[in-house]
Structure formats: structure tokens, C-alpha cells
Chains A and B, each alone.
Chain A
Amino acid sequence: EPEVTQTPSHQVTQMGQEVILRCVPISNHLYFYWYRQILGQKVEFLVSFYNNEISEKSEIFDDQFSVERPDGSNFTLKIRSTKLEDSAMYFCASSGLAETQYFGPGTRLLVL
């Protein structure tokens, strides 16, 4: 069964550094999403992406964040200048024409 994959599984970075989190959505899916989950808290919506552009974004998704689909398979989340409070698990998800969103295994980001 096809799955969403994410790399890296863990990333440690220094405050102020840029990070890029990568996702490979399920191949025939059209809608892509990023969520984050701070340890012990709920999953929070960051951004949705369709037809090569952002569909919706939450107030968390400020100018430090950007998303890109650089080729036909990858979907990336870039954080330009990381802050301590960006430490979280970041999940990518994708969906096809049906509503069901399938989540990747996540990238645990730790900002020191």
C-alpha cells in the first residue's frame, strides 16, 4: 500500500539556521499539507497546497515558512530562520479526490 514518506526522521539545528523538511506524497494525490505537533499537544494545521500554489495557511505559517513542490514527487517545507519554539514534530499529508488525508511518519525538529 502506498505511503507518504518524509526525510529526515530527525533534525537538530541551531537557532537562526534554515531547515528544509522533505516529503514524498502518495503518487496520484493532488492535495498536500503540512501540520506540526508540539510535544504532548494537538496536531496543528500549517498550510495546504494544490495545483502548485498555497490554498490555505494558518496564522502559524508566517513569513519564515515556505513550501515548494520542486519536482513531480517532492513537497518541501522550509523554515528560513528557526526559533526555539519551532521545535516540534512536522507531519506531511496528502489526499486525492476523496477527502481522506494520509500522514507521513513525521520529522522531529529540535532547535537549540
Chain B
Amino acid sequence: GENVEQHPSTLSVQEGDSAVIKCTYSDSASNYFPWYKQELGKRPQLIIDIRSNVGEKKDQRIAVTLNKTAKHFSLHITETQPEDSAVYFCAPRDWANNLFFGTGTRLTVIP
């Protein structure tokens, strides 16, 4: 399966600042790259995804950028709000169409 790493493992930002989380993966055949948000005790929820034929995608305050050559993709959250506090997981899809989750980044937005 994929070898997926996320950095940083924890991130604290002031409300209104930006947050960036990076994910590296190993399977060069991966072609689908989602980010999931998980609040304590709840299910992972898809917040944004990108396919390999696109370099960047934006949805309001959230964006994802992909560098297929370097095998990494990043989550960008602008104008952070306290409700953005959660654990974020990248989960690139491997050659067999299964998601492999990263180790997670705990984001804390300080009001």
C-alpha cells in the first residue's frame, strides 16, 4: 500500500491566520487526492479533493495544491475560524482505488 506522511502533526494558529498542511505519498500511480476533516468522536468528512490532471483547486477558504512530480499535495485554509479546529487527514488513493490515510494533523485555531 501507499506510504503516506503528513506534516506537521500539530498546528496552532491565531484566528484569521492561514494554515498549511503537507502530505507526501509514495505511489506514483495515485491519481486522486482527498482531504478529510475529523472532529473528535466523529466520522471523517471530505472537505476537498483534487484529481491528478489539475494542479490546484479552491473552494471558498479551502484550497488544495498538487505536485505530482514531487508526489506531494497540500491543504491550505485561509481566514481560519475556531470551528476549523479538528484533525485533518490526507488520503491519497492507491493503484487499487483504496484510500490510504496519513497520520493526521491536529489543527487548533486560537480565538
Contact, CB under 8 Å: B1 / A48: no
Say what secondary structure dominates the interface of chain A: strand
Residues of A near B103 (CB, < 8 A) are: 41-42
Interface string of A83-100 (1 = CB under 8 A from B): 000000001000000011
Interface residues on B, range: 20 to 34
Q: How far is the CB of A30 from chain B (nearest CB, A)?
A: 11
Query: In the complex, what residue of chain B is closest to A105 when comparing beta carbons?
Result: B43
Contact, CB under 8 Å: A43 / B97: no
Q: How many residues of A contact B (CB 8 A)?
A: 21
Contact, CB under 8 Å: A48 / B44: no
The 8 Å CB contact of A104, one of B32, B43, B98, B101, is B43
Contact, CB under 8 Å: B100 / A103: no
Contact, CB under 8 Å: A45 / B97: no
Q: A99-B32, A99-B93 known; A45 and B98 CB under 8 Å?
A: yes
Since A44-B101, A105-B43, A106-B42 are in contact, a sample of 4 more A-B pairs with Cβ atoms closer than 8 Å, ordered by chain A residue number, is A42-B101, A43-B38, A56-B98, A99-B51
